[in-house]
Amino acid sequence: MTGLSAYGPWAVVTGASSGIGQAFAERCAADGLNVLLAARSTDRLEDLGRTLTRAHGVEHRVVTVDLGRANGATDLLAASADLDVGLLVSNAGGGHPGRFLDQDLPDLHRRLVLNTTTHLDLAHGFGRRFVERGRGAMVLVSALGAVHGLPNMAHESAAKSYVRNLGEALHHELRPAGVDVTVMLPGNVDTPIIDRFGLDRARLPIRPLPVATAIRQTVHALLSGRAAIVPDRRLRTVARLTPRRVSIRANGRMLGEAAAALAARRADAPAGPPR
């Protein structure tokens, strides 16, 4: 067996209903892995699962779960307990640009669970299973914004830094037990999150990287034994050459403009029906 199928026979992919998660699920199925697809969008997951089964002859299982809930990861671990899972793609995450003090504390707590605690719980639960079976792999999806604090996305950049450090440490801790761990640090990847964050595609400094290319580079990094990967050579070069304080200011300004665009969009949206 070659590629991801060496870890098989099942892969668990969170946030699989769109973007990076969907592309990872497609790659896993193309490599012959059965896929457990987890997200909140049942219809999208079922459509994706049927498509993957038809195209690649793999089995699929849909688990509808809100990983922003405190027990979400526990529910997912239970839903996969009868499967011989060899690969975890812990991708689910969320957030939105805006000033820290303008955001509601309960929502910040929910997003902290989604962006941090869920990765912890899944890495711990599946990590133990992988060590017991003597083989396995994890891809923990962080973000390029984890390398420093991002104004107008302070909460998310802090949470994603936890995922980055956790994964890089586990890369070394678990490797002697036959478990490979790689952290993906996506930046300018062409997914729906660009539009959901209110970013102006025409003003992005680098054209977004196709999501399939980002997944291909990440899988290569995993199979090559690398601890972390920033997909897109152009972005790696820019990140390396740009002074830290310049990067913080530039990204903070861009996210501030995105937050303003989102606020204007909400203000212009028609009011819902009276209750």
When pLDDT is averaged across residues 89-111 and rounded to a whole number, the result is: 92
CB burial of 128-158 (b: ≥16 within 10 Å; e: otherwise) equals ebbeeeeebbbbbbbbbbbbeebbbbbbbbb
Mean pLDDT confidence for 69-76: 96
- Note the pLDDT of residue 257: 79
pLDDT digits (tens, 9 = 90+) for 7-21: 989 999 999 999 999
> Phi and psi (nearest 5°) for 267?
-65, -30
Range with lowest mean pLDDT among 171-175, 179-183, 204-208: 204-208
Where do we find the tokens 């690649």?
A: 56
Judged by DSSP in three states, 37 sits in strand
Q: How far is the CA of 161 from the CAs of 137, 145, 230, in angstroms?
A: 20, 8, 14
pLDDT value of residue 273: 52
Nearest residue to 62 via CA among 28, 16, 108: 16
The mean per-residue pLDDT over the stretch 130-148 comes to: 93
Residues linked to residue 88 through DSSP beta bridges, in sequence order: 12, 138
CB atoms within 10 A of CB 226: 15
pLDDT band for position 269 (cuts 50, 70, 90)? low
Confidence of residue 272 (pLDDT cuts 50, 70, 90): low
Q: pTM value?
A: 0.90
Instruction: Supply the pLDDT for residue 128.
Output: 98
Give the C-alpha separation, 197 to 166, whole Å.
26
The DSSP call for residue 243 is -
Calculate mean pLDDT across residues 196-222. 84
The fold of 3-267 is Rossmann fold (3.40.50)
Q: Whole-angstrom Cα distance, residue 262 to residue 268?
A: 10
Higher pLDDT, 275 or 140: 140
Residue-level pLDDT at 57: 97
Residue 168 clears pLDDT 90, i.e. is over it? yes
Q: Residue 159: is it exposed, middle or buried by C-beta count within 10 angstroms (0-12/13-18/19+)?
A: buried
Answer whether residue 275 shows pLDDT above 60.
no
Tokens found for residue 181: 């761990």
* Angle, helix 118-133 to helix 72-79, in steps of 10 degrees: 30
1 has pLDDT over 50? no
What distance in Å separates the CA atoms of residue 221 and residue 228, rounded to the nearest whole number?
A: 7
